[in-house]
Amino acid sequence: MTIQSTYLRPHFYYGLSVLVVLFLLGHFWYSFFIAGLVAVAVFFSLAVIDIMILYRRGGRILEGSRQLPPRFSNGDVNNVSVELMNFLPVRIRCEVIDELPPQFHIRNFYRKGWLSPGETWSFTYSLRPVERGEYHFGNLNVYISTRQGFLSRRIKAASPAMVKVYPSFVQMRKFEIMAISDRLSEVGIKKVRKYGHQMEFDQIREYTKGDDIRTINWKATARRAQLMVNQYQDEKSQQVFSLIDMGRTMKMPFNGTSLLDYAINTSLVLANIAMLKHDKAGLITFNEKVRGILPAHREPHHLQTIMEMLYNQQTGFLEHNLEALYAVVRHKIPQRSLLVLYTNFESLKSAHREMPFLRRLASNHLLMVVFFENTEIEKLIHNQAGDVEDIYRQTIAEKFMFDKKLIVKELERNGIHAILSKPGKLTVATINKYLEFKARDLI
């Protein structure tokens, strides 16, 4: 706890104004002069009592703390707790001003309350970050005053602190819990029927009632003189890489959150689901050049490594470079893998320009391109046209929307899987596609 400074409260100035008026009137009436002297004595006596209470020595005055979570979840509501305890022998008024990180753009944070001797005051407030990165909290300032309210003393109840804002691990945990309890259908994840047998051989064992007779191994049966069957297991340890575009097209916001953040949140959920399905999750971030590479693993701590890599990634102002991405993928990922490319195409022309590199990626891997619908343009289409200019705008908007659908057709024509999704539905659409690939044994 650090003492900062002392402030004169409005009550002090009100009392001083009354004294000045009494002394001015005292020049004309003697009784006002006497009243002024008495008022001066009372006024300064109360002020001295305030000083003695607020600046007493040999004991604690006020102690407080600000409890921050070890990390914030981006795009979700995060709670911060404040606790204050009064050690003075009198009831005091507390005015709390917390210096919040500038990313929240909150400049009017204020809480007030009264604390009796020995009483503890606790309250919680919520913050919703919309950007990843480091958030720096300043001091927790508490202004205390007595009932007289002549003086106010500022006390620094908590020191500056830094909190890392990670991709939405709240959303990740929600999908993880639903996957474990087989309740993914509640959020729109489809149950996909398995196609045929998994052909990864495990072992030969004795036949037991209920085994599929199509798995009987007749050679082993003849040697052992009893029925023997082949046992197969689901193919595991496939590699799933999220390729996250951090170029300028991913700066576009939706509900206060950039497209890059939606892509990062979805890639984190996908990595978690993939590891629950016994696959390996990897990550590559790029813009005009490749910024980060994380090999595919499925160790327990790997998800934390992914979050550490993603929490401070930022978009640039240049176009992405798929040629550089292809060179890295060819060199670093020799095994056939599922590549989920999060990017954004705003025109058919830009998609055609990148198509040669996408075809090269798809020639050695299972490539899925994930890009976004422009929800603002969609709103414009459904607005009521009032004049010719509005009709012209709606026509252009419809062309943009149609171009997005043509991009999907063009990608599929080149053997590339595609997802065109609204930002808010991106996670569900991506996981559905991944589960479909698993069911069809494409990876």
Would you call 147 helix, strand, or coil by DSSP? coil
pLDDT at 222 exceeding the cut of 80: yes
Q: What's the pLDDT score for residue 386?
A: 77
Across 190-199, 380-389, 410-419, least confident range: 190-199
Query: Residue 172 pairs with which residues in a beta bridge?
Result: none
- DSSP letter string, 74-116: TTS-EEEEEEEEE-SSS-EEEEEEE---GGG------EEEEE-
- DSSP letter string, 191-223: P----S---EEEEEEE--TT--GGGB-HHHHHH
Tokens of 96: 């709390």
Global confidence as pTM: 0.70
pLDDT in tens, 128-186: 998 888 999 999 999 988 887 777 888 888 889 999 999 888 777 666 555 544 545 55
Burial class of residue 133 in the structure, from the number of CB atoms within 10 Å of its CB (0-12 exposed, 13-18 middle, 19+ buried)? middle
Which of 118 and 237 is assigned the larger pLDDT?
118
Kindly state the average pLDDT of the residues 264-280.
Answer: 90
pLDDT in tens, 334-385: 999 999 999 998 888 989 999 999 999 999 999 999 999 887 787 777 777 7
Query: Residue 124 pairs with which residues in a beta bridge?
Result: 81
CATH code, residues 1-166:
2.60.40.10
Q: What's the pLDDT score for residue 26?
A: 56
Pick the CATH number of 169-193+235-439 from 1.10.3720.10, 3.30.565.10, 2.40.160.150, 3.40.50.410: 3.40.50.410
Kindly state the average pLDDT of the residues 328-332.
Answer: 94
pLDDT at 3 exceeding the cut of 50: no
Q: What's the pLDDT score for residue 22?
A: 52
pLDDT at 197 exceeding the cut of 60: no
pLDDT at 84 exceeding the cut of 80: yes
pLDDT at 30 exceeding the cut of 60: no
Q: Where, residue-wise, is CATH 3.40.50.410 in the chain?
A: 169-193+235-439
Q: Where, residue-wise, is CATH 2.60.40.10 in the chain?
A: 1-166
Q: What's the pLDDT score for residue 271?
A: 92
pLDDT at 393 exceeding the cut of 90: no
Q: What's the pLDDT score for residue 10?
A: 58
Q: How confident is the model at residue 2 (pLDDT cuts 50, 70, 90)?
A: very low
User: CA 307, CA 365: separation in Å to the nearest integer?
Assistant: 25
Tokens of 355: 């198509």
Task: List the one residue out of 72, 127, 73 whose CA is nearest residue 105.
Answer: 127
